């Protein structure tokens, strides 16, 4: 049975594009929703026959009423999984709890390092030798949810924010579809400490996480 995926964006949605392009078996992109009517990713989705919807946050008096309207739009698409792909809104605890265990986000750092904004600048200022990106389940505490998968990139001499961000973005486009695939395949679970476990996960010889050939 196919699983319905609802993707939330605020702009271009390049991670949304990567997930759509992955054509994950068993996944159906049920809709793309944006809080901005001018989000470029809406056009990408519409061109591919994916239903789109705008829930403009400016039309609502506060976060609670916006989140309630957003949840109504999501629930109309009967989601199995909600994916935040550059959705630039802080969500209320009630919203996050509503989709507990089926709300994914990608963050441009190796969490728990550098949660929040300006991650690439802060990584450069800290002098770290590696940086990266993390897919995690969303919890009420910002950027602190259970980690599904991470990818690491080197911080090179002469890097500025733009160069480092571009290198990280390549890895975002690689690991976000993988995380969604694992969810669709039913390979993700939580242990007693609320950490994510991936069934049949392998550790490659370089130490990076890779999927097994057969689920």
List the catalytic residues: 107
Q: Which residues on adjacent β-strands are paired with residue 175?
A: none
- Cβ 85 vs Cβ 19: under 8 Å: yes
For the chain, report the end-to-end CA distance as a whole number of angstroms. 16
* Largest distance between two CA atoms of the chain: 52
Rounded Cα distance between 151 and 207, Å, is: 11
CA 163 from chain centre, in angstroms, equals 21
> Whole-angstrom Cα distance, residue 183 to residue 154?
28
**Residues with Cβ < 8 Å from 45, sequence gap 6 or more?**
7, 13, 16, 20, 29, 32, 51, 52
- Sequence-distant (≥ 6) Cβ neighbours of residue 96 within 8 angstroms: 103, 138, 139, 140
Q: Buried (b) or exposed (e) across 108-137, using 16+ Cβ within 10 A?
A: bbbbeebeeeebbebbbeeebeebbbbbbb
């Amino acid at each position: 049975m196919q699983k319905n995926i609802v993707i939330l964006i605020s702009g271009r949605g390049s991670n949304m594009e990567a997930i759509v392009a992955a054509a994950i078996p068993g996944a159906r992109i049920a809709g793309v929703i944006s809080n901005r009517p001018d989000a470029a990713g809406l056009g990408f989705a519409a061109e591919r026959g994916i239903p789109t919807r705008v829930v403009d946050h400016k039309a609502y008096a506060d976060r609670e009423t916006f989140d309630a309207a957003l949840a109504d739009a999501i629930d109309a698409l009967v989601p199995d999984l909600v994916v935040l792909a550059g959705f630039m809104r802080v969500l209320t605890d009630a919203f996050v709890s509503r989709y507990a265990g089926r709300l994914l986000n990608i963050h441009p750092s190796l969490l728990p390092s550098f949660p929040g904004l300006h991650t690439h600048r802060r990584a450069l200022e800290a002098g770290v030798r590696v940086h990266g990106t993390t897919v995690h389940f969303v919890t009420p505490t910002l950027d602190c949810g259970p980690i599904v998968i991470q990818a690491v990139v080197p911080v090179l001499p002469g890097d500025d924010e733009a160069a480092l961000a571009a290198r990280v973005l390549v890895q975002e486009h690689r690991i976000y579809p993988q995380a969604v695939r694992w969810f669709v395949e039913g390979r993700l679970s939580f242990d007693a400490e609320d950490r994510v476990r991936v069934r049949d996960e392998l550790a490659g010889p370089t130490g990076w996480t890779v999927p097994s050939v057969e689920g």
